[in-house]
Chains A and B, each alone.
Chain A
Amino acid sequence: MTRRGQILFFVPALLVFLVFVLIPCTQTLLDSFFLHQGARRHFVGTLFYRYALTDPKFHQALANNLVYLLWTLLFEVVAGLALAVGLEKETRRHHLLRIAFFSPAVLSMVVIGMVFGFLFKDGVGIFPGLLDESRALLTISVVSGWASCGFFMVIFLAGLANIPVELQEAARLDGAGPWQMFWRVKLPLLREVIAVALLICFTGAFKAFDLFWVLLPNQDHTSIVSTLLVLATVAGLWLAGRRRVWRIQ
């Protein structure tokens, strides 16, 4: 294939990616240094960054985000790893159980949020009070763990399947019990997969939005950075009188 042919194949995807991801990202970055007043803009340097970093709301959201990240590490990654190690064998029973534990991962977070919202509803729900200020973050983390631990299980299963059988065989012959086998053989060999899982969990915690939006509308103290961003976006558009009034709950 000629060099020109290759480039021709590459250009359409790059174009779409450029227009709908890269250019908007760059624009955000550029805009962050300017103050917009109508059609005019003034360069203000890092003013907005300093503003955000001293804003208590932003601090709160960032802190909430970190707490949420830590909980999801436990309820998504660690739980997924435990499921993967427990359901590692290629038997029919384990396959069926894997299907069961993965199934929430194909559902929309909106659906998940609404179902749990009904279960936790004050007054009528089966488990009322779980969305109180003090417990909401933990509750949401558990729900998102419920939704995503199957996803992480599948990632770890892929990693476990790549561990050479001979290695486990050898460890077993040397008298390693299941516990030792896990800490000394499997975990070290899963290093790369664990790194990927941590990356996914980390970016996921900062991308999280749907569950918070559906389960905790209008709660300041439990907002995370992304809900703050979306609210700011909506408010900004609204203030700028752009196009139409956004109907947001």
Chain B
Amino acid sequence: MRPHPTGRRVRSTPHAKSDFPVQESIPRARPLKQFLATSAWLLGAWLFLLPLVWMVMSSFKLSNVAIFEHPFSLPAPITFSNYAKAVREGRLFSCLVNSLWVTVLSALAVICLGAWAGFALGKKRFPFRRLWLALFFLGMVLPVQSFLIPLMDVLQWLNLQDSLWALILPYTAQTLPVAILLFAAYFQSLPPELEEAARLDGVSTGRFYFSILLPVAKPAVATVAVISCLNTWNEFLMAMLFIVDPGMKTLPVGLIAFEQSHNTDYPALLAGLSLITVPTLLAYALFNRQIIRGVMAGAVK
């Protein structure tokens, strides 16, 4: 908790200048102004979230007419048949399973490989350290659109096309730079005595890494996991190009396919959209601290 009173408020209550968190006492200073400001913020937030609210609300409506002629009315009666339809006809369940596999496996790979490499690059005297960091940075800013064809060649050469590995490996490779930079920065911030002490106690490098370093690096692991999962779960371009087999599609691509086959059945489409959005939003509500910390760390480091 840090008091951050703005100048305006403090000028109205000059005596409130103190090191204590004084927010509780400030609103009483100008109740009307405070009330108006809060209402404006709440109204703004409501308008901001309205598209999502509209999406979920409309997914319970019976027909296109109900959605588009009375867009902002509550669904009456509420129906769940759209959801059943979306799951059944959109094959969204198999897409969900694929998305889960891809997300989980590439997050694990990113954490393992990224933490190892970050640990190595965190050492000041690693050979060509700056060169590697620069290369990884380059990998972070290059758009994937620029190397799609050679990447497909690589996948074909490895005989991976049309399997989930054709997504897992490129996703892993593209999230690794961020992960490595984060882990390197994190391990550098740890006291070197940690490793010294472990070495004096005769702990092997492998054991030191798994039973000391990784547990200590839990915050960095959480951050990297969040970044990796968000990127992978929502990725669309490669998922669209590299996978042709309908049974191997991930959720965003499955949704597009569903839209093309049912392009006027809005209740079912909106149910499908809600279906893939609500888990993400729930995960966000649960882990919003970690997610926000992940974004902050990813950007500032």
Contacts and interface: CB of A to CB of B under 8 A. Distances in A.
Do A and B share a complex? Answer: yes
Contact of B139 (A17, A91, A234, A247): A17
B300 A159 contact: yes
B284 A103 contact: yes
B71 interface: yes
Given A126-B68, A158-B300, A100 B49 contact: yes
Nearest to A88: B4
Interface of A is mostly: helix
Contacts of B283: 106
B256 A249 contact: yes
16 contacts: A10-B132, A13-B116, A17-B139, A21-B142, A25-B142, A27-B150, A28-B150, A106-B283, A106-B291, A108-B234, A110-B255, A114-B273, A119-B54, A177-B7, A178-B8, A246-B244
A144 B40 CA distance: 23
Interface string B149-170: 1111110100001000000011
A215 to B, nearest CB: 12
A114 B259 contact: yes
Interface in B107-148: 109, 113-114, 116-117, 119-121, 123, 126-127, 132, 135-136, 139, 141-148
B11 A14 contact: no
The size class of the interface chain A forms with chain B is: 35 or more
Contacts of B241: 230, 233-234, 246
A16 B173 contact: yes
Contacts of B277: 107-108, 111
Contact of A207 (B5, B23, B145, B147): B145
B276 interface: yes
Contacts of B276: 108, 111
A151 B300 CA distance: 12
Contact of A111 (B42, B208, B255): B255
Contact of A155 (B135, B169, B299): B299
Contacts of A68: none
A233 B139 contact: no
A101 to B, nearest CB: 6
B60 interface: no
Nearest to A228: B145
B151 A110 contact: no
A1 interface: yes
Q: Indicate the member of B51, B120, B142, B280 with the most A CB atoms within 10 Å.
A: B120
B143 A203 contact: yes
Contacts of A181: 6-7
B126 A6 contact: yes
Contacts of B285: 99
Contacts of A12: 113, 116-117
A103 B45 CA distance: 11
Pairs A-B, 4 closest by C-beta atoms: A20-B173, A13-B117, A27-B150, A24-B150
Interface in A1-49: 1-3, 5-7, 9-10, 12-14, 16-17, 19-25, 27-28, 31
Nearest to A96: B45
Contacts of A105: 295
A111 B173 contact: no
B90 interface: no
Given A24-B147, A181-B6, A154 B120 contact: no
A9 B300 contact: no
A226 interface: yes
Contacts of B121: 10
A64 to B, nearest CB: 15
B180 interface: yes
Nearest to B113: A13
